[in-house]
Homo-oligomer: A and B are copies of this chain.
């Protein structure tokens, strides 16, 4: 895997995301990396991220897919351009469409792996397909349609 997380390259102004912003102290702070042509993130749900006792909350799984998807989209756009992640002009993505199929109840108490594959990259849009697995067994399948972040969202914190 690469050394630096995609999310650690985000500009300070757009690093407050609840799911993956390094500057959001209440958030999940998801970290995503390249692993060859795939992207990977690992997350351990907190004890309160339950659906029913013993199983992980589906909204948390959707959140992991959301943030791993937009992070993977940015990383793929930089890689396609042959540029180092975080270099100017910045490439940062938001989710236009999110889809999750829950394949089986996801167990609590173990690390979850989110593994992504870039299915399409064209213009301002990137499609990322993902699998969330627990101990090697797929629990959810996700897709994010990511688009470049509109300038209005970047300016909000200025």
Contact = CB atoms under 8 A, between A and B. Distances in A.
Interface of A: 13-14, 16-19, 21, 24-27, 46, 48-55, 57-60, 62-63, 66-67, 94-102, 105, 149-150, 152-154, 156-157
Counted per complex, copies of this chain come to: 2
Given A58-B95, A99-B98, A105-B153, A24 B51 contact: no
Given A53-B157, A157-B54, A59 B18 contact: yes
Contacts of A49: 18
B55 A66 contact: no
A73 to B, nearest CB: 13
Contact of A97 (B13, B17, B63, B100): B100
Nearest to A17: B51
A19 B97 CA distance: 21
Nearest to A100: B98
Given A16-B50, A50-B16, A96-B102, A59 B58 contact: no
A105 B152 CA distance: 9
A23 B60 CA distance: 18
